[in-house]
Chain A
Amino acid sequence: DGGITQSPKYLFRKEGQNVTLSCEQNLNHDAMYWYRQDPGQGLRLIYYSQIVNDFQKGDIAEGYSVSREKKESFPLTVTSAQKNPTAFYLCASSRTAVNTEAFFGQGTRLTVV
């Protein structure tokens, strides 16, 4: 079945460690996105990519990094520089970056202890 897959669903890490969240889609979508969701703050855009080998910072990119080496994959690394990494992270993809419906993964809940 076509879709977008995030793994793992729950992730625990010690403070000071980098951690990479996986996002894979088999929808042949050009655009992919990473969001962070905190209670009462909606979804805030971290990074987005309109096409393979290209990505742009969103509103809260500090402390995060991404790569887009393959069309189907858009991993997000939460670095030790991110001050408050504990959150729910959502990945999305859309056929293009403008005016097309996005499909969302089920999310990864990251807890840093």
Chain B
Amino acid sequence: AQSVTQLDSHVSVSEGTPVLLRCNYSSSYSPSLFWYVQHPNKGLQLLLKYTSAATLVKGINGFEAEFKKSETSFHLTKPSAHMSDAAEYFCVSYNKLIFGAGTRLAVHP
């Protein structure tokens, strides 16, 4: 069975500091993996996607993620957090659209 695990339910950072949201996957093959963001009272928005073309994927709003097969990870990063980044983030495996439990990112002034 395929699954994704988001290792942190909550992450809190100060504005201007780096962001790291962790995601591990389990699969017998290299999956397609995505990161989505959900702002309060808004729909889900695609941040970026990995589909085996390149291991480092750049997304919107300065986010990027690196696929590491040896670590079965697809962590989401951003060099400098902005207040508007506060939201819930989901790592998603694209076989039957399996969601991780989500990580709530808080950004403090």
- Residues of chain A touching chain B, judged by Cβ–Cβ distance below 8 Å, are 31, 33, 35, 40-45, 48, 58, 90, 92, 94, 97-102, 104-107
Contact = CB atoms under 8 A, between A and B. Distances in A.
A33 B34 CA distance: 16
B49 A97 contact: no
Given A104-B44, A107-B43, A99 B94 contact: yes
Given A42-B102, A99-B32, A104 B43 contact: yes
A101 B34 contact: yes
Contacts, number: 51
Interface string B86-98: 0000101011111
B94 A98 contact: yes
A106 B43 CA distance: 5
Kindly state the interface size class of chain B when it binds its partner: 20 to 34
A98 B96 CA distance: 6
B9 interface: yes
B90 A45 contact: no
Interface of B: 6, 9, 32, 34, 43-44, 46, 49, 51, 90, 92, 94-102
A102 B35 CA distance: 11
A20 B44 CA distance: 22
A105 B100 contact: no
Contacts of A41: 101
A33 B94 contact: no
Contacts of A106: 43
